[in-house]
Structure 1
């Protein structure tokens, strides 16, 4: 079943279309390519002239024993000049081709990175991070080999082969026609190699993606692996994937061993025997010029040298095309992040939020939200409470327009959420998650996001009481922050993310248990800051600890994707329902709270 799936995936990659799409990346470099191609032709001509000089020396001077000093100097100097000029021109065209190739792969990587940032969260929900990283790094590296090593080699050697055949026809047209039989034979070997190696290359790339995905998962979950003593199981599963990757590589090695260099060597020997036999039989009937024999054998060697180079690069070519197909699959992905729809440029002024009969499903099969309706007036706080899986985070994700509801409407200030431009939406809605995320850099950069001044950063940090610990750090706001905020406590990371939100002075605040990772003393300071901040702003807060949202203007109790209860803290307690039970459980008593 797995083998059949891989075959179907390979068949789904139109290799011709992928190749010509790769070629389209060369368009911005037409002028440089034209110059490089001209230099290539010049270098080829210079290299092909050198054996002709030797042929003239052998037939016209060595054989008859004519060694005129002036002529010998001219022939010797001419030969050395041709060799030196060919080397210089070859170096120039090689560097030019390589620089173009590196520029192209830089363009491709940037486009790939940009495309990933445009994708919606639904795509990331179903795509392992390690697999995606493998496509951005390993697959683009394989494509780089195509531009850097393969294309220049193929272009150079094809031109070189055409030149060799031209000279062969000049020396002996009949024998050159015999040698032309080699071309379809070599093309047939290339076709066979491409046909049978495609699947092994695709399988290798898929297994490498799985390896990266498993490695990424293991590194992120190392604490859990060690805590539950799962090292042996993880090693066993990693070993299984690694072995399947090795098997795919062995298949490719087998194809390389049969269809690349060995097959070409057999053809070379057959061609050499043919040429020597031809001149041997011809010598019985007429005289044969030794210079012509030398030139033909020399050109035969020169013919198979580029053929061998192209055959050895063929594996890189095949691997690059398969990798490019995988990269283009991501670049062509249509699961884009939801964006603006319709005309007009509405602005968020008051921050009035309204959900009207909103229904949503992540997979299109099972609804996680059912007919959600509520209104958050400007300057008020709406709290969302409920057990895990009740739909709280899904409401936040829809309001942030990470996803689009299946049914119903979401409006802000009376305008449909889809009517707002992304820049307007992101600048007017501030988000603080429970698991705060910090970028590698320094504290100032993480608060400002490269868009706010130092004064705004300091003011925001003071507002959320983060300046107290920041200013005590060795380099204050310039203190380096490791990946995901390593080196800082969870409370410090949360305070920095809170300051980041405040720096943008949003009209709407979304708080996903914003005080969950902060100690009691710091939480009191944050709650005080939140009270000031809520004035004139709409706040949607997910709460696990009910003590943090008792002053909310409206509390929505979610259960299995539906709003089971709504009201203020005191109103919900009097209802004696789900909220009342949750409150008693968190108080650690079964006694009535009111």
Structure 2
């Protein structure tokens, strides 16, 4: 079995259709988009008409020195009205485009978060958390910038260009055709910009993701970093990543400085020289209309201003396309957590668990489990023991359906594990990990975990059952005491007791314990063991044991070695065999034969 993660180390290209797929997020907002485009068209029309009024003033009033009061007032009022309308329409259309952009990015981020929830755990095994955070935050922010500033600017500037070209053709067809010939040159510059800068933008986004990944790793491991005096190494590594990011951004700045406005300014000056030369040569044989000359020069400036705006925003557009491609890589990732198969939808009633000749590999090459078979009867406790890497956690991962079973079969109450609906499986199976995870919130919310059907009395009863109520009551605020990230303000034992209370509040039929007492002190372990004895009554329990003393009363103990069950039996039976279990037990008891 192989799963696909995210690789930030390779240069990539924007997939075909990325832009149009991004535009698909506009479909639910067609009404507002139409209004925004209408306002944009009105603003463009009002802007394009302004030089026409100036031309009329020059030709009919300024040159003949004819200044009738009423027409001049009407002309001035008309010009002022067009300026005000242009400003008002632009403000309204800009507001609508920005609201649309916020709605689209909100939808895109929700889609991304939803998709991340369905990815297989093997995907997270291969992908640093910081890389995912970068794609959900930084990359979607780049897309937001495109919708806010690039999309509306491009549409508006294209509309202005069309209006300007129409006005130029009305004024002088031949000169307008000369200006029209500039479009291939402009498109060639845009194509060159896209071609040259695409690898740079990919490298930039990759460096940002690596910075986030290094930050996430450093902040989470700050205790180890300080304890092991790793600050100089981390500073050096972080500095190298930042330097690589700076070099890429510097290259981006160089390309922008060359291929955006400066190059367009050169083309504009050459075109202006062409227009002035055209009118200058024409003046030798024809009378030059000053109003038309002014209008043409004005339109020429208006012609290149939107092109300059688009060229300057190509930077944002290119970044957004790269970011969109990276976002869609997550949305399209084929990795899926194992889900139910078939239409039977059985229920878990008795809680009998059976492994039938199960073999498993994470990479599709080397098996970490080989031909595992055992049965846990309802109410029984089956313990898994063995050295590190023996396959204990992999067995639990398969039972919890975190990874798919491809060889062999796991059944619950005689039904294939793959047939159970996700909700049924998670409601009837309780998992307690060696390192319990607590969410930001309070004690009560961490026990309830969003289940509104669990009352405050049931939360308290669950805490009392696992002997967590005592220390909770001593906290400021009791069950409403705030919990920081990962419960850092609580001791390991306290976090573990809360995770036990969380499990009991949901009253599972099958209890899965992954070395639940490995990291707690002896006093807390005694409390947990007492709670465990009561929790296991009437429940099927599958437990990974680090301390063999904690599973001596298990109904069945499986000894795993290199992914195989090499011994099985009760505590006394395994001691009598004097095999691997016996050696492990002696080692933990201090090597005394009498202790066995």
Instruction: Determine helix, strand or coil for the equivalent of 2:74.
Output: helix
1:280-329 per-residue CA deviation (whole Å, 9 max, x = no partner) reads 11111121121111111111111111111100000110111011111111
Find the aligned partners of 2:136 and 2:217 in 1 and give their Cα distance: 17
Aligned mate of 1:584, from 580, 583, 586: 586
1:123-156 per-residue CA deviation (whole Å, 9 max, x = no partner) reads 0111111111111111111111111111111001
Find the aligned partners of 1:27 and 1:109 in 2 and give their Cα distance: 17
2:168 equivalent in structure 1: 168
1:518 equivalent in structure 2: 520
2:395 equivalent in structure 1: 395
1:25-76 per-residue CA deviation (whole Å, 9 max, x = no partner) reads 1100011111111111111111111111111011101111111111111111
1:387 is displaced (CA, Å) by: 0.8
Aligned residues of 1:6 and 1:199 also touching (Cα < 8 A)? no
1:151 equivalent in structure 2: 151
1:13-412 pair list within 5 angstroms: 13-14=14-15, 16-412=16-412
Find the aligned partners of 1:253 and 1:521 in 2 and give their Cα distance: 62
1:440-495 per-residue CA deviation (whole Å, 9 max, x = no partner) reads 11111111011022122111111111111111111111111000002111111111
TM score, norm. by length of structure 1: 0.97
1:526 is displaced (CA, Å) by: 2.3
1:500-511 pair list within 5 angstroms: 500-511=502-513
Aligned mate of 1:557, from 547, 556, 559: 559
Find the aligned partners of 2:498 and 2:8 in 1 and give their Cα distance: 46
Instruction: Determine helix, strand or coil for the equivalent of 1:284.
Output: coil
Find the aligned partners of 1:419 and 1:36 in 2 and give their Cα distance: 50
Find the aligned partners of 1:548 and 1:202 in 2 and give their Cα distance: 53
Instruction: Determine helix, strand or coil for the equivalent of 1:487.
Output: coil
Find the aligned partners of 1:345 and 1:360 in 2 and give their Cα distance: 25
Find the aligned partners of 2:445 and 2:519 in 1 and give their Cα distance: 22
Find the aligned partners of 1:507 and 1:188 in 2 and give their Cα distance: 68
Find the aligned partners of 2:406 and 2:583 in 1 and give their Cα distance: 32
Find the aligned partners of 1:64 and 1:358 in 2 and give their Cα distance: 99
Instruction: Determine helix, strand or coil for the equivalent of 1:372.
Output: strand
Residue 537, structure 1, aligned to residue 539, structure 2: yes
Aligned residues of 1:490 and 1:518 also touching (Cα < 8 A)? yes
Find the aligned partners of 2:520 and 2:500 in 1 and give their Cα distance: 11
Find the aligned partners of 1:576 and 1:17 in 2 and give their Cα distance: 66
Aligned residues of 2:378 and 2:538 also touching (Cα < 8 A)? yes
Aligned residues of 1:351 and 1:413 also touching (Cα < 8 A)? yes
1:231 is displaced (CA, Å) by: 2.0
Aligned residues of 1:7 and 1:199 also touching (Cα < 8 A)? no
1:533 is displaced (CA, Å) by: 1.9
Q: Which moved more, 1:519-528 or 1:563-572?
A: 519-528
CA spacing shift, 1:535–1:203, aligned 2, 3 Å = same
Q: Which moved more, 1:349-358 or 1:446-455?
A: 446-455
1:9 is displaced (CA, Å) by: 4.2
Aligned residues of 2:557 and 2:569 also touching (Cα < 8 A)? yes
1:475-522 per-residue CA deviation (whole Å, 9 max, x = no partner) reads 111111000002111111111111111110000000112123333333
TM score, norm. by length of structure 2: 0.97
Q: Which moved more, 1:49-58 or 1:418-427?
A: 49-58
Instruction: Determine helix, strand or coil for the equivalent of 2:403.
Output: coil
Aligned residues of 1:372 and 1:562 also touching (Cα < 8 A)? yes
Aligned residues of 2:119 and 2:336 also touching (Cα < 8 A)? yes
Unaligned runs of 5+ in 2: 1-6
Find the aligned partners of 2:86 and 2:261 in 1 and give their Cα distance: 27
Aligned residues of 2:517 and 2:528 also touching (Cα < 8 A)? yes
1:57-105 per-residue CA deviation (whole Å, 9 max, x = no partner) reads 1110111111111111111111111111111111111101111111111
Instruction: Determine helix, strand or coil for the equivalent of 2:65.
Output: coil
1:230 is displaced (CA, Å) by: 2.0
Aligned residues of 2:574 and 2:582 also touching (Cα < 8 A)? yes
1:438 equivalent in structure 2: 438
CA RMSD of aligned residues (A): 1.4
Q: Which moved more, 1:87-96 or 1:216-225?
A: 216-225
Aligned residues of 2:8 and 2:210 also touching (Cα < 8 A)? no
Find the aligned partners of 1:591 and 1:247 in 2 and give their Cα distance: 66
2:4 equivalent in structure 1: none
1:8 is displaced (CA, Å) by: 7.1
Aligned residues of 1:361 and 1:406 also touching (Cα < 8 A)? no
Aligned residues of 1:494 and 1:517 also touching (Cα < 8 A)? no
Q: Which moved more, 1:584-593 or 1:42-51?
A: 584-593
2:499 equivalent in structure 1: 497
Aligned residues of 2:512 and 2:542 also touching (Cα < 8 A)? yes
Find the aligned partners of 1:230 and 1:93 in 2 and give their Cα distance: 53
**Number of equivalenced pairs:** 588
1:459 equivalent in structure 2: 461
Find the aligned partners of 1:125 and 1:390 in 2 and give their Cα distance: 19
Aligned residues of 2:11 and 2:203 also touching (Cα < 8 A)? no
1:474 equivalent in structure 2: 476
1:516-558 per-residue CA deviation (whole Å, 9 max, x = no partner) reads 3333333223222222221211001111111111111111111
Instruction: Determine helix, strand or coil for the equivalent of 2:360.
Output: strand
Instruction: Determine helix, strand or coil for the equivalent of 1:471.
Output: helix
Instruction: Determine helix, strand or coil for the equivalent of 1:70.
Output: helix
Find the aligned partners of 2:271 and 2:76 in 1 and give their Cα distance: 30
Find the aligned partners of 2:546 and 2:29 in 1 and give their Cα distance: 58
Find the aligned partners of 1:265 and 1:143 in 2 and give their Cα distance: 28
